[in-house]
Every structure is written in C-alpha cells, then in structure tokens.
C-alpha cells in the first residue's frame, strides 16, 4: 500500500513532468524585421533586441531566430554598419542561439553609396532610373542591377557559413543567400529555408528539391520580399530582381504539402494572409517591417507555436520600450495541422555528403 507521503510525491512528480511536457510542446521563434535604421541610427535599440532574446532563451524555449533581411541601411567605406550588425548577432553567438538571415536589397552591392542622407536620396533616384531603363530596354547604361543585387560579398564576409550553426546546406558554396536550416522543437522536425531577394530560377529549382527531400519537416520559408502592406502577394520583381514573389509562390510555396509559413519584410507595414496549397495545406504568410516607425522601434515578431494545441500566435514586442503593438500584427491561427514524424532529425533522402555541404 502506498503511503500518503509517497502518493503526494508521485503526484508532484507527475505534475512536474506534465508541465515540462507542455513547455516542450510550446516554443517561440523571434523574427527580426528590417533593422536597417536601427543599425544606422540607434545601435542601442538594435542590441536591446538581441540581449532580450538571449536573456529569454530558456523561459521562452527559443530554438532559432530569423531575420527577414535589410540588416543594414547601406555599405559605407568604413563598414561601420556591418560591424554594428555583426556585434549584435555576436550576442546570439555567445548564447548559442542558432539564427537564419536572408539578405535584403540593402545588404548587397546595389545599395553601397556613401554616408549620410544625401547619398540615400541619390541612390533612390538611381534605382528609379534603372527601373525605367529596364522597362525601356536601355540595357546597362546605369549599371547592372541584376548583378549588383546578387553581389553579397560583404554579407557573406561578415556572416560566413560557420556562424550559422543550424545550417545544413546551400545553393552556392560559401554563400548563405539561399540556404536551409534544421531544428527540432515541439517534438517535431522543422526546416527554415532562406531564399534570396526575388530569387533566380536556379535557386527556386534548388529549393524545390530540398523541400521535397524532407517531407516530414514543417517548413518555414524566409525571403525578404513577399507580401505587400495590403496582404497581397506581390506580382513584381522590384525592377531589379528575377522572379516575383507571385512566381515563387506558384512555382515553390503552394506546391509542397509541408510548407507551413512564409515570413518576409521589405514593405513598411504588418500584414498576413492564409492561403491553401495544392495539397490542401494552409500556408500562413507574415509581413513584418516597421523601419519608418521610430527607426523600427526595436520591435520583434514573437511567433509562439504550440504543437499540442495546434496554434500559431503572433505579436510584436519591443524590449527597448517594453511595448506590445495593438494592431493587426496581433493574431492567432488555430487548428494548425503540423507534420508529425516518429523519426529523429535525419539527413533526408540523399546521403550525408549530398545533403550537407558545410564549407570550412
């Protein structure tokens, strides 16, 4: 016969395991919107985001962090913005928190003009002129925008492959513009697939193969440009990209039954939409970008995923001001059908050497 004391002990142990199990099913993915103006004008605001994430790693059960691109405003001769951006992520490095960054149009050679506000104005006119030249078929008289948008040498120098501890492969050797990452959270397998700005056809073809090789993974696609401020999938390539977001959606996103989320920035707003893929799966698409509102305000998209209750909840929180936005950025998706698997994290359908190509 079990004594009262022993019985109480068993109840307490049961409750502890129940709480731990519940916590294991729920986790938070912080999504960093465009930080370009914070890095440029207020590094303290930028660093407050990173420090808060590191401090709350355990209590929020944070498995990975996602940045939607436009880390910096533009390249400068002294590389000061890249140094600021790198130092912020070193806080996550020290805390051993994996992260994913997709470069935005401001993180490449297309945006590289000098210092201060005037070069930014001149750059805007140059980009408009390039767009008009493209429409009129005037060629490369104002520079090859297609080449410059793919010139991400500075990004990959500051953020080499070795800094991305969850990365398992990439489209091009030594470049993380298009790369995939895996982690396990909520007792499920997850993949984050990062795609370059208005990606090239080859990058989309590569992404299709990667996702197909991992059918039992819940896939999150992160790309800098996808939704408009009205929650529409953009149908243009910004005049200097390759495939439009709509083309990417049709050729990649809607095809795979295991794609669950698409997150993006680029457009100063917050919006979301829920589409149905060709296999009947819900595809939740989120835009987050507050760059013109108090430099971004230090806001982070906190994406709480509860695999037990089948919910995805989102809110925008700023540790810098200790404020939560009360707008359309606050929502919950319910009855989410997550991909479940009895398998541990594995290397897909190919061999280890085919699926993992980590550059030294």
- Phi/psi at 118 (nearest 5 deg)? -60, -45
Q: Please report which confidence band the pLDDT of residue 110 belongs to, taking 50, 70 and 90 as the band edges.
A: confident
pLDDT tens sequence across 323-345? 998 877 889 999 999 999 865 65
**Distance between CA atoms of 89 and 53, rounded to whole angstroms?**
11
Q: Please report which confidence band the pLDDT of residue 359 belongs to, taking 50, 70 and 90 as the band edges.
A: very low
CB 273 within 8 A of CB 263: no
- Report the pLDDT value the prediction gives residue 23, as an integer from 0 to 100: 57
Better-scored residue on pLDDT, 349 or 316: 316
Query: Could you tell me which of 65, 58, 341, 34 has the C-alpha nearest to residue 214?
Result: 341
CB 272 within 8 A of CB 328: yes
Calculate the CA 213 to chain-centre distance: 21
320: left (phi over 0), alpha (psi -120 to 50) or beta: alpha
229: left (phi over 0), alpha (psi -120 to 50) or beta: alpha
**Distance between CA atoms of 224 and 228, rounded to whole angstroms?**
11
Instruction: Give yes or no for residue 7 having a pLDDT over 60.
Output: no
Maximum distance among all alpha carbons in the chain?
90
- Report the pLDDT value the prediction gives residue 136, as an integer from 0 to 100: 67
- Report the pLDDT value the prediction gives residue 254, as an integer from 0 to 100: 99
Instruction: Give yes or no for residue 137 having a pLDDT over 70.
Output: no
Calculate the CA 277 to chain-centre distance: 21
pLDDT above 90 as % of the chain: 67
- Report the pLDDT value the prediction gives residue 239, as an integer from 0 to 100: 82
**Distance between CA atoms of 103 and 223, rounded to whole angstroms?**
8
Domains of the chain by start residue, with CATH = 29-344 (3.60.21.10)
Query: Could you tell me which of 300, 308, 303 has the C-alpha nearest to residue 335?
Result: 308
- Report the pLDDT value the prediction gives residue 134, as an integer from 0 to 100: 58
Burial class (CB in 10 A: 0-12, 13-18, 19+), 162: exposed
The SS3 call for residue 336 is coil
Instruction: Give yes or no for residue 241 having a pLDDT over 80.
Output: yes
Instruction: Give yes or no for residue 242 having a pLDDT over 50.
Output: yes
Q: Which of 12-21, 134-143, 235-244, 327-336 has the lowest mean pLDDT?
A: 12-21
Tokens 């906190």 correspond to what residue? 302
Better-scored residue on pLDDT, 27 or 121: 27
Query: Could you tell me which of 51, 68, 28, 294 has the C-alpha nearest to residue 185?
Result: 28
pLDDT tens sequence across 114-135? 433 344 545 556 566 656 665 6
**Distance between CA atoms of 199 and 178, rounded to whole angstroms?**
9
**Distance between CA atoms of 149 and 172, rounded to whole angstroms?**
15
- Report the pLDDT value the prediction gives residue 21, as an integer from 0 to 100: 40
């Amino acid at each position: 016969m079990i004594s009262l004391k022993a019985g109480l002990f068993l109840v307490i142990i049961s409750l502890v395991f129940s709480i731990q199990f519940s916590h294991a099913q729920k986790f938070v993915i912080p999504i960093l919107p465009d930080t370009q103006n914070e890095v440029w004008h207020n590094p303290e605001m930028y660093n407050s985001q990173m420090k808060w994430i590191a401090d709350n790693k355990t209590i929020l059960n944070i498995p990975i962090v996602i940045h939607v691109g436009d880390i910096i405003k533009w390249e400068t001769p002294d590389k000061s913005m890249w140094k600021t951006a790198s130092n912020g992520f070193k806080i996550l490095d020290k805390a051993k928190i994996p992260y994913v960054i997709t470069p935005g149009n401001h993180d490449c050679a297309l945006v590289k003009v000098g210092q201060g506000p005037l070069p930014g104005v001149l750059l805007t006119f140059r980009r408009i002129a390039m767009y008009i030249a493209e429409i009129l078929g005037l060629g490369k008289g104002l520079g090859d925008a297609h080449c410059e948008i793919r010139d991400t040498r500075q990004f990959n120098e500051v953020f080499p492959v070795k800094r991305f501890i969850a990365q398992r492969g990439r489209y091009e050797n030594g470049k993380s513009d298009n790369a995939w990452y895996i982690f396990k959270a909520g007792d499920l397998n997850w993949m984050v697939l990062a795609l370059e700005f208005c990606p090239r056809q080859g990058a989309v073809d590569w992404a299709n193969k990667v996702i197909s090789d991992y059918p039992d993974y819940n896939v999150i696609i992160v790309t800098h440009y996808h939704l408009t401020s009205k929650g529409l999938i953009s149908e243009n390539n910004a005049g200097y990209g390759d495939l439009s977001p709509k083309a990417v959606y049709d050729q990649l996103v809607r095809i795979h039954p295991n794609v669950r989320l698409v997150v993006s920035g680029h457009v100063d707003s917050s919006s979301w939409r829920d589409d149905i893929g060709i296999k009947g799966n819900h595809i939740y698409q989120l835009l987050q970008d507050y760059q013109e509102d108090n430099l971004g305000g230090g806001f982070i998209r906190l994406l709480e995923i509860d695999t037990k209750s089948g919910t995805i909840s989102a809110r925008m929180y700023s540790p810098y001001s200790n404020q939560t936005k009360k707008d359309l950025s606050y929502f919950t998706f319910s009855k989410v059908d997550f991909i479940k698997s009895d398998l541990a994290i594995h290397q897909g359908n190919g061999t280890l050497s085919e699926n993992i190509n980590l550059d030294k």
